[in-house]
């Protein structure tokens, strides 16, 4: 049955949505961008009403995804899980993901590179841990491998991680220093081969700094509690 639009009212709490009234009664809310062409007096068929509401659901899903992405970059899998938790159906979610791709708002390739670069700058860790973190975000193995190959110099990352942590152990005997630093680097995902070649280098750098009086007090930001 056809129905006539008798009122279009902007919602007080959300000016981006309007309430549609049909034949004198409240019918449904809709995003302003979806209902921009609606006019009072216009007649809508049941098919058109259904299409409007479907289109509105897609717009709501897209806006919820944008809000989710506003806090930090996300992988496609993270966005998919979030929309699923909210309750959108598979078709709407798939269309939302594709829309985000077309707008260059999500890209697992870019996400993986930024994740690795951020970790490498602020909290260095080995390839194994970086790969595990990205898998937990739902990133495909080939995308992870590409990001690691382009970005990660494991020896340099291990050195940076060691320098950040080792200054607090500079007064220890070498055996205790080696034990603590090696355990720390293992927890950060670095290989035994990388660690064994690095500990002596870091120890030598620390002793040289102490001899020349250049050792600076250092506090690592964002360290893991179990790394203290």
Residues 5-30 have pLDDT tens digits of: 999 999 999 999 999 999 999 999 99
pLDDT band (50, 70, 90) for residue 214: low
pLDDT in tens, 41-54: 999 999 999 999 99
Which DSSP string corresponds to 125-151?
--HHHHHHHHHHTT--HHHHHHHHHHH
Q: CA 36 from chain center: how many Å? A: 33
Contact 157, 119 (CB under 8 A): no
- Which residue has 């250049």 as its token pair? 214
Q: What pLDDT score does 223 carry? A: 47
**Distance between CA atoms of residues 77 and 112, nearest Å:** 12
Nearest-angstrom CA–CA distance, 21 and 213: 78
The arithmetic mean of pLDDT across residues 198-217, rounded, is 72
> What is the CA 63 to chain-centroid distance, rounded?
17
Distance between CA atoms of 192 and 189, rounded to whole angstroms?
9
pTM of the model: 0.76
> E-assigned strands of 41-147?
43-44
């Amino acid at each position: 049955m056809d129905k006539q639009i008798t009122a279009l009212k902007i919602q007080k709490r959300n000016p981006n949505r309007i309430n549609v009234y049909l034949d004198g009664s409240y019918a449904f809310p809709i995003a302003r961008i979806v209902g921009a062409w609606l006019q009072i007096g216009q007649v809508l068929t049941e098919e058109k009403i259904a299409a409007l509401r479907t289109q509105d659901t897609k717009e709501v899903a897209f806006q919820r995804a944008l809000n989710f992405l506003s806090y930090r970059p996300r992988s496609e899998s993270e966005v998919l899980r979030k929309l699923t938790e909210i309750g959108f159906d598979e078709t709407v979610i798939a269309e939302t993901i594709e829309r985000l791709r077309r707008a260059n708002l999500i890209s697992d390739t870019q996400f993986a590179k930024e994740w690795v670069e951020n970790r490498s700058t602020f909290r260095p860790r080995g390839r194994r841990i970086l790969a595990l973190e990205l898998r937990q975000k739902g990133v495909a193995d080939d995308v992870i491998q590409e990001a690691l190959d382009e970005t990660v110099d494991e020896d340099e990352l291990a050195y940076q991680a060691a320098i950040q942590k080792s200054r607090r152990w500079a007064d220890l005997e070498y055996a205790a220093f080696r034990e603590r630093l090696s355990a720390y680097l293992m927890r950060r995902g670095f290989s035994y081969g990388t660690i064994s070649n690095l500990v002596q280098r870091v120890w030598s750098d620390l002793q040289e700094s102490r001899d020349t009086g250049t050792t600076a007090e250092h506090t690592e930001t964002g360290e893991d509690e179990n790394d203290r």
